[in-house]
Amino acid sequence: MPENTVCNLCDSPETYSKSSEQRQVACHVRKFQNDNFTVWRCGGCQSLHSKEVVDLDSYYADYPLKKHTLDFHAKIGYRNRIKLLTRCGLSKDTKILDYGCGNGLFVTFLQSNGYAFANGFDPYIPEYAGTPLEPGSFDIVTSYDVIEHVDNPKSYLETLISLVKPGGLLVLGTPNAEEIDLFDPDGPPVELSQPYHRHILSARTLFKLAEDKALEVVDVYRRFYFDSLLPLVNTRCMWTYIRSTGGMIDAAVEPIQWGVFLKSPRLLLYAFLGYFYPPKGNILVTFRVGRSQAVPE
């Protein structure tokens, strides 16, 4: 496979060699922290691309967030997801599919809260790899933090759309390249997540691709869904804590180092009031799939 040196997302693609924004970014997983990758921005659409071809299997084999369990933090985030879905029409009868569901934590959470028709699909997880994916059969398809991991976001989007019933909803959560400062003086933003994030779409690109597919924007949520008013459970606190402990994502699943909080008044402030300082860099959009899409020509 060739390197990502031409933007695969926009109509006026820029090339890596002409890009005015490029940065070497280290992997934020402790085991691979000495591995560096080139991230560059397309001047045409502001999306970000990871340049090098990488054997991702070895990186995913030791990805710390795979150890996530349905803990207190996760439940708060998933409750927020349900709240956002409900305001767009989710009910207990909804046939909902979480595409790229990982080990299925959100699916389990939905089912245990009475959403009996919730299911998940993930080609890398045996339990969810065989889920029947009949075209046009789901009321809602969700995809949280997956599209930035795939090699071809356009065809991924087409796959998601094909699964939604005409008039149903597609919910996409992803980092927003427009709000990610490649040269952030505090260090590379967590959202860059190298080499895992292959292409990070700008919001304008996401909306353009959606428009091309006749998707209607129903709801836009411009903060990370894990934010809450509870102490410690907000993105600002989490990201600041990770940076204060060396910038490795491993810190998110390791025992909390309380000493770090005591040494940083800023981190302490964010622990309690971080909800009111939401970091930019994420977007969650609900689209309605056109009723005409599934009608044969």
Residue ranges that bind Zn ion, judged by CB under 5 A: 7, 9-10, 42, 44-45
Would you tell me how many other CB atoms lie within 10 Å of the CB of residue 80? 19
Q: 204 is written with which tokens? A: 């304008």
Helices (H), the chain: 56-61, 72-86, 105-112, 126-129, 153-163, 203-212, 235-244, 258-263, 265-273
Smallest gap from residue 46 Cβ to Zn ion (A): 7
Give the rounded distance of the alpha carbon of 114 from its chain centre.
25
94 φ, ψ (degrees, to nearest 5) = -70, 135
Smallest gap from residue 48 Cβ to Zn ion (A): 10
Smallest gap from residue 206 Cβ to Zn ion (A): 12
Smallest gap from residue 142 Cβ to Zn ion (A): 26
Smallest gap from residue 186 Cβ to Zn ion (A): 26
Beta bridge partners of 138: 164
Q: Closest CB to Zn ion among 49 and 81?
A: 49
CA dihedral 123, 129, 135, 137 (to 10 degrees): -130
Q: Closest CB to Zn ion among 19 and 282?
A: 19
Q: Closest CB to Zn ion among 44 and 281?
A: 44
Q: Closest CB to Zn ion among 42 and 169?
A: 42
Q: Closest CB to Zn ion among 17 and 69?
A: 17
- Strands lying side by side in the sheet with 96-99: 118-121, 96-99, 138-144, 164-175, 282-288, 216-221
In this structure, are residues 39 and 4 in contact, taking their beta carbons and an 8 Å threshold? no
Smallest gap from residue 212 Cβ to Zn ion (A): 14
Q: Closest CB to Zn ion among 68 and 154?
A: 154
